[in-house]
Amino acid sequence: MYANHLKKAADHLIEILLEAGSVPYSDFYDETEETHRELAKDLGMSLKAFERAGGEALIDQAAASLADQGYVKIIQLDEDLPDGEPDYEIELLEQGRAMLAAGKKPAFHDLDL
């Protein structure tokens, strides 16, 4: 995964979190074609480029990176995703909100998965 794709995913996620405060990962990954295409569009990517870049896993990896940097907290939920993995809530921390308000931008690096 390339850093620029993770940044797009994180920017989209942050936009949602600044308004809603939290969002379940299942909002981005429910194994429907409609949600898949909508996320590609929301990230400003063609469907082909989105799939080559990692698809919904971009949000998953962006959330993990934001958590590592102190912007968000990841909370495991009792529900499962369609693939059997547990769903989780991504919650914007007050510290994260303050860092964003101060202009501190999260950093991303290319990942070998």
pLDDT tens digits, one per residue of 7-61: 999 999 999 999 999 999 999 999 999 999 999 999 999 999 999 999 999 999 9
The CATH fold assigned to 3-101 is Arc Repressor Mutant, subunit A (1.10.10)
Please provide the DSSP assignment of 67-78 as one string.
HHTTSEEEEEEE
d(C-alpha 67, C-alpha 74), whole Å: 7
Mean pLDDT across the chain: 95
pTM of this structure: 0.92
* Domain ranges across the chain: 3-101
| Mean pLDDT within 80-97 | 96
Identify the pLDDT of residue 29. Answer: 94
Identify the pLDDT of residue 113. Answer: 59
